[in-house]
Structure 1
């Protein structure tokens, strides 16, 4: 059930939000399957069922491992996640939960072994954009 349709009520704002998301998909530095994984995890943390469903479907379409997706809520204690994926997930969780600056610095240092500065910038934008979409999704959709 939808409470309101953001894209209809505020089409200019929707287009601006969509433009950022689209730009992230054009010649990405972060591979689509990792982006999907991050977007799923952020959406899980935020409790946005609509976005979890959408990005789970995208993860599958991009060839993501279904076991990895099933283990995503417990990734910290699960096998099958690469060191780079773990660093990206730590960063996603840290920013989504708005940790203190000391923790954010610690999480950022973990990224440096696996990602270049431009990749970290893109990853950060993916996380920020997903958090914005989650808030919009939560506000709009009573059920997914």
Structure 2
């Protein structure tokens, strides 16, 4: 496999903009592990191997179990995720596949049981950020180990 281009060198301002969004997320107060679950689930949906590899490893470094990481695509069928995590994963799926069904009111209400208005916006921003990273990675032909 070969990387299509070094987008970082080709357009440093684009990278700077994305890193600014990551800085914003770092200051948002969103739980770091929740943010990694969002990143991993959206990356799975988008088929971004580079990001799946990165965020799986990040979760392992945070002490997450391999079982929970491996079972993430089937989170609805296993009891290993909390109600809060389930609400976030469901929101991540709907927001990542927004054109299919939007975000149903039931999903919004399940999320709001665990998160206030500011936190809901933070979750949407987190989902937006990883979807942007996925699109960059896939467009540039990135793959695990390319950097």
Calculate the TM-score normalised by the size of structure 2. 0.90
The equivalences for 1:17-28 within 5 A come to 17-26=18-27, 28=28
SS in 2 for 1:63: coil
1:7 aligns with 2:8: yes
Runs (5+) with no aligned partner, structure 2: none
Name the SS of the counterpart of 1:111 in structure 2: helix
For 1:7-86, what aligned pairs fall within 5 Å after superposition? 7-26=8-27, 28-86=28-86
Alignment check: 8 A CA contact 1:38 1:89 kept: yes
Shift of 1:106: 2.3
Q: Give, in angstroms, the shift of residue 114 of structure 1.
A: 0.7
Cα separation, 2, equivalents of 1:70 and 1:23: 29
Change (3 A) 1:11 1:36: same
Q: Distance in 1 between matches of 2:81 and 2:64?
A: 12
Partner Cα distance (1:13, 1:39) in 2 = 20
What is the total number of aligned residue pairs between the two structures?
142
SS class of match (2:29): coil
CA distance in 2, matches of 1:105, 1:137: 31
1:142 Cα offset (Å): 5.1
Structure 1 window deviating more from structure 2 (56-65 vs 129-138): it is 56-65
- Name the stretch that deviates more: 88-97 or 106-115: 106-115
Q: Does the 8 Å CA contact 1:20/1:129 hold for their aligned counterparts?
A: yes
Root-mean-square deviation over aligned CA pairs: 1.3
Determine the C-alpha separation between the residues in 1 that align with 2:105 and 2:16: 33
State the 1:93 CA deviation: 0.1
1:107: Cα distance to partner?
1.3
CA contact (8 A) 1:32 1:62 kept: no
